[in-house]
A and B are shown apart, each in its own frame.
Chain A
Amino acid sequence: MKRKVPIAIIFVVGQFLAFFMDGSISQILSGTLFKYPNTMVPCLTMMWLILAAFFGNSKKLHLSAWAAIIGFIFDMYYTGILGVYVFIFPLVVYLCQVIYQQLPPSFMSGFLVYFLGITVLVTLGFVANAFIGQASTSVSQFLVNTLAPTLALNLVFLAILYFPIETLYRTHRR
């Protein structure tokens, strides 16, 4: 039988892949995603981390550390403003993990927790950017033009990728 690739390596590689896919999707579909006045932001990196928190063993995967590392790279490479996502990523992962453990493990509860996670991620991102003067929209505009479309887009991504990723972790647990 073929030797299995350890899940920890798949996790790290997939995380970087998701990270670069975020940027590539934003670039390629920028005509649709950033159509005025709405902005939809793909958060595949966050989805990969949250799903790892759901299905994987977060201690063995060193999940919080990797969330902080990828958050730091995100700040450095994409936005150029350090100290935003390096803290938001681990926080969201931690929150999602704590809440998910209280719920029965099913697609619906995963969906709900993911919904909350993305809401926290986007909102904290908005607060941080408003603090340094990058974001200048009002809160109501933010809710309608950014948060809602972003949630819609990311829930679609989740619906597509939830079961494949679950299968991946399940086959590796045996």
Chain B
Amino acid sequence: MQKFFSSRKLVIVIVCLIISFGLMTVSVAIRNKRSTPPMIQQFGNDIVGFADRVVAVPMNGVQHGFVSVKNLLNTYQENQRLKSKVDLLAQTQVKDQTLERENKQLKRQLNVGSTLTGYEKINAAVITRTPSSWASQVIINKGQAAGVKKDMPVIAGPGLIGTIAEVNKTNSKVVLVSNTAENSNRFAIQIVGSDSKVVNGIITSYDSQSNRIVMGNITSKAKLAKGDRVSTSGLGGTIPKGIYVGTVSKIAEDDYGLAKKVYIKPAANLNDIEVVSVAVRE
């Protein structure tokens, strides 16, 4: 033990600790403030990203094989279920088209150009996921070169899954809503209640025990019910309005009994993401 903690080693350990804390603080600060990481880091990430595709592409291919076999087995049941929904969908689609056209005409008449709802999509594939318990992050194969910017919302399948946290030239990191870090998850969202009153708020945390997004600090008296739909409100920043987030699953009082806390079931499956779209506000 004498040898193990010789003074030279002790000095090395302390220096390492100081450098470690310094680097950690700096990178957290950079992550929170700057739109892109430093040039060197970006360059490194791009190179590693390219190398990763060599491994990730065959691995994802194997997974596709398994998934397609599984899908084949499930097809019959799914077909039955979906048939019943098709008629409804066609009806909604037609209605949607008509409404969109009407909306455009009305906007033109009112001289309103772009509103909060308009957004375009950049489609991207997921390369890999961070192997860590503390960062729910995936890495996608589109970056600055494709027009991705920090804090843009990311959609997979039916709804919102997270935001862009770091942008490199050819890849970027997406922090999922299931991330429990204190400084993530600040989306402006709204719930339209049954009496068509709107409740605005932000996502304050994530309950990993039950897989629910938590919307806190609601003082509105509007009545909310289980199953009400939640979407982004488009207030504040780069997130467009009307991206589906999920449905209300539970309404509870907060710790002090003054405000309400709403638990939201996310629409997208956060643990099965292959293809995503980054929403760019027009």
A and B assemble together: yes
- Which residue of chain A has the shortest Cβ distance to B211 in the bound complex? A36
> Which residue from chain A places its CB closest to the CB of B273 in the assembled complex?
A30
Which of B44, B51, B139, B211 interacts with A16 by CB under 8 Å?
A: B51
Residues of B within 8 A of A (CB): 16-17, 19-28, 31, 37, 41, 44-45, 48-49, 51-52, 54-56, 59-60, 62-63, 126-139, 165-166, 173, 180-183, 208-211, 269, 271-273
Question: B166 and A83: CB pair below 8 A?
Answer: no
Interface-located stretch among A103-111, A121-129, A156-164: A121-129
A131, B182: Cα distance in complex, Å: 11
> How many pairs of residues, A versus B, come closer than 8 Å at their CB atoms?
156
- Supposing A20-B55, A28-B63 touch, asked if A129 and B134 sit within 8 A by C-beta, the answer is yes
Interface bin, chain A: 35 or more
Given A25-B131, A135-B134, A135-B180, A77 and B23 touching (CB < 8 A)?
no
A42: chain B residues at CB < 8 Å are 131
- CB-CB nearest in chain A for B138: A27
CA distance A34 to B129 in the complex (A): 11
Q: What residues on A are CB-neighbors of B182 within 8 Å?
A: 133-134, 136
Asked if B26 and A82 sit within 8 Å, CB to CB, the answer is: yes
Asked if A150 and B56 make an inter-chain contact with CB atoms under 8 angstroms apart, the answer reads no
Residues B27 and A80 in contact, CB atoms below 8 Å apart: yes
Interface string of A70-92 (1 = CB under 8 A from B): 00010011111111101100000
B130-A84 in contact (CB<8A): no
A41 CB to nearest chain B CB (Å): 5
- Could you tell me if A134 and B211 are in contact, using CB atoms closer than 8 angstroms? no
Contact A128 B31 (CB under 8 A): no
| Closest partner residue, chain A, to B53 (CB atom) | A20
Would A81 and B210 be within 8 Å (CB), given that A23-B128, A126-B134 are in contact?
A: no
**A26 CA / B271 CA spacing, docked (Å):** 10
Contact of A26 with B130 at beta-carbon distance under 8 Å, contacts A20-B56, A87-B20 already known: yes
Do the beta carbons of B48 and A77 come within 8 Å of each other?
Answer: yes
